[in-house]
Structure 1
Amino acid sequence: MRRVLTAFGTLAAAAMLSVSVTQSASAAQGDLVVNGTVYSDPSGCYPSDRWPLSVENYTNEPALIFGSADCSGPILGFVTPGSSQVSEFGGSVFIR
């Protein structure tokens, strides 16, 4: 009986882990607008070579504004869902 309960517990833990990993890897739902370009259900890094960097976040996830074009370096801004921001020195936007 103990082996059956241990096996069941292990299977239940594996199922919960697979569900949480699958959900965290999904893209944001909605639209992200970076300098006038619309990205539907975005995920990842979106570089821009125009300044100032304008970000409109119509997704369900927060977006981060970075100073470099490859989403590295200092974080210059945080754009919550449903809001917008203009960053004078922003180089890219990252969204999960």
Structure 2
Amino acid sequence: MRRLATTLGILGATLTLAVALPASAQAATGDLSLNGEHFTNPSGCLKIADNGNPIAVIRNYTDAGVIAFSGEDCTGSIVKLVNPGATEPLVGAKSVYVPE
């Protein structure tokens, strides 16, 4: 039952993020930092550099929500949804997707 609640929560959060994101054809505006690696106006799937620590840090100073995934190339399970302006630890994330 707990697993079902977790899955439904993640699905609900994903749906909320998908509806809340603007349907534009341009990259997010602003800066994104993944374990100290900086991206300006990022878009698409970005790999999180392996620094030997299972916990990555994301600083999302863009105008778009970012989805963190457990696998490389934005595959696997959703680890966390990171809202614009947030700084979050990411446990077990290997890639993030920034809506294009």
- TM-score category (smaller protein): 0.7 to 0.9
Deviations 1:51-71 (A, max 9, x none): 312110000000011000110
Matched residue pairs, number? Answer: 74
Task: Give the equivalent residue in structure 2 for 1:15.
Answer: none
Cα distance between partner residues in 1 of 2:84 and 2:91? 20
Q: TM-score, normalised by structure 2?
A: 0.69
Structure 2 regions of 5+ residues with no counterpart?
Answer: 1-22
Cα distance between partner residues in 2 of 1:53 and 1:84? 11
Task: Give the equivalent residue in structure 2 for 1:45.
Answer: 45
Task: Give the equivalent residue in structure 1 for 2:28.
Answer: 28
Q: TM-score, normalised by structure 1?
A: 0.72
Deviations 1:14-59 (A, max 9, x none): xxxxxxxxx6210000000011011000001111223312110000
State the identity %: 36
Structure 1 regions of 5+ residues with no counterpart?
Answer: 1-22
RMSD of aligned Cα (Å):
1.2
Letter of the 1:78 counterpart: L
Larger radius of gyration: 1
